[in-house]
Amino acid sequence: MHPLASPPAPPVDLSVIIPIYNEEANIPALYERLRGVLDPMQLPGGYEFIFINDGSRDHSLVLIQTLALRDPRVRYLDFSRNFGHQIAVTAGLDRAGGQAVCIIDADLQDPPELIPQLLEKLREGYEVVYAKRRSRQGESAAKKLTAKLFYRILASITHISIPVDTGDFRVISRKVVEALRRMPEQNKFIRGQISWIGYRQTYLEYDRAERAGGETGYTYRKMFKLALDGITAFSDVPLKAATVSGFIVSGIAFLVMLYTLYSRFVTKEYEPGWPSLMVSILFLGGVQLIAVGIIGEYIARLSANVRQRPLYIVSDSNLPEPPAQPQR
């Protein structure tokens, strides 16, 4: 077995991963609503909550600890500082023992009432069921616009199809959790990683509510970092942009050169000086961009290797497992 793949927790039917950053206003209501949904489902293997306190500066941790005293299904991790939402979810995935795992925001923007439907789809044979926002309430126009733009840009420059207008609210199977654990990359963009993993994926649509209480923990800085992580982890297009622009500029230089020669020798209508200057500036600019682009190509390959992703994920086979690889 892969050294990272040992299930650390006793298996349950469902693990609910909840990243927490300054959510004291929402934790009690969230817990009640989750129980209200999960208890009636009477999952034979039971369920667990995994709260990850991502360096909250309010009383979130105390609230979680109080819940854990009363309810043994409440498990928690307390980070030494704020490491960010994606890292918090990753830590939850590392600890989750569930046959299915649900990732949900703590602010009740993701309705827990959708979980039974998500699980139902999983039982139909899908490995990933994500929740797609049909509408979003109570968020600033700027946030909606930047999110919309980001998802469209990302979709247009990556090869894998990362679903637009979805957050991390979703239910995934054990298989997908194990595959995620085999992706040791440093800059996490979990929804992209899950798309990359493949298998049968589907979605359900929902209307995203307003944040129940408290304030968003996603500052523009954190959003920008998430966007950059997503783009750099799943696209080489920015790195290769220099090559493309290099060829365009060189092409223009060539056309200008032809035009200059034509005016110098055929029409004889020309200003001395500027054409040669223009041509050499454009030409040199183009050559430089191409050189930068070549470096970009190497860096793209370097970064692909540094990510240490598995080369492929197998869905089914009648071959025996290969012998374990020596650890690098």
- Interface residues toward ligand UDP, by CB under 6 A: 19-21, 23, 54, 82, 84-85, 88, 105-107, 109, 211, 216-218, 222
Contact present, 200 and 127 (Cβ < 8 Å): yes
Indicate which of Mg ion, ligand UDP, none lies near residue 206 (CB less than 5 to 8 Å, by partner kind): none
Of 86 and 158, nearer to ligand UDP (C-beta) is 86
Token pair 């029409």 in the structure block, residue: 267
Site string for Mg ion, 77-106 (x = CB under 5 A): ----------------------------x-
Element (H, E) at 137: none
Give the shortest CB-323-to-ligand UDP separation in angstroms.
39
Give the shortest CB-229-to-ligand UDP separation in angstroms.
13
Indicate which of ligand UDP, Mg ion, none lies near residue 85 (CB less than 5 to 8 Å, by partner kind): ligand UDP
Indicate which of ligand UDP, Mg ion, none lies near residue 112 (CB less than 5 to 8 Å, by partner kind): none
Q: In the structure encoding, which two tokens stand for residue 50, read together?
A: 């995994």
* Residue 274 three-state SS: helix
Give the shortest CB-167-to-Mg ion separation in angstroms.
8
Token pair 């899950």 in the structure block, residue: 194
The distance of Cα 308 from the centroid of its chain, to the nearest Å, equals 17
| Beta carbons within 8 Å of 116's beta carbon, 6+ residues apart | 37, 41
Give the shortest CB-20-to-ligand UDP separation in angstroms.
5
Give the shortest CB-202-to-ligand UDP separation in angstroms.
23
Of 216 and 245, nearer to ligand UDP (C-beta) is 216
Indicate which of Mg ion, ligand UDP, none lies near residue 127 (CB less than 5 to 8 Å, by partner kind): none
What is the DSSP secondary structure assignment for residue 326, as one 8-state letter? P
Indicate which of ligand UDP, Mg ion, none lies near residue 201 (CB less than 5 to 8 Å, by partner kind): none
Among 23, 48, 107, 110, binds Mg ion (CB under 5 A): 107
Q: Work out whether 23 is an interface residue with Mg ion (CB under 5 A).
A: no
Nearest to 57 by CA among 86, 33, 31, 82: 82
Give the shortest CB-218-to-Mg ion separation in angstroms.
7
Contact present, 120 and 171 (Cβ < 8 Å): no
Of 23 and 127, nearer to ligand UDP (C-beta) is 23
Of 108 and 242, nearer to ligand UDP (C-beta) is 108
Of 126 and 130, nearer to ligand UDP (C-beta) is 130
Nearest to 52 by CA among 69, 28, 27, 33: 27
Q: How many residues bind Mg ion (CB under 5 A)?
A: 3
Nearest to 19 by CA among 49, 62, 39: 49
| Strands ordered across the beta sheet of 47-53 | 74-78, 47-53, 12-20, 98-103, 166-173, 128-136, 201-208
What is the DSSP secondary structure assignment for residue 264, as one 8-state letter? I
* Residue 197 three-state SS: helix
Q: Work out whether 109 is an interface residue with Mg ion (CB under 5 A).
A: yes
Distance CA 227, CA 247 (A): 28
Q: Work out whether 110 is an interface residue with Mg ion (CB under 5 A).
A: no
Residues of this chain that interact with Mg ion (CB under 5 A) are 105, 107, 109
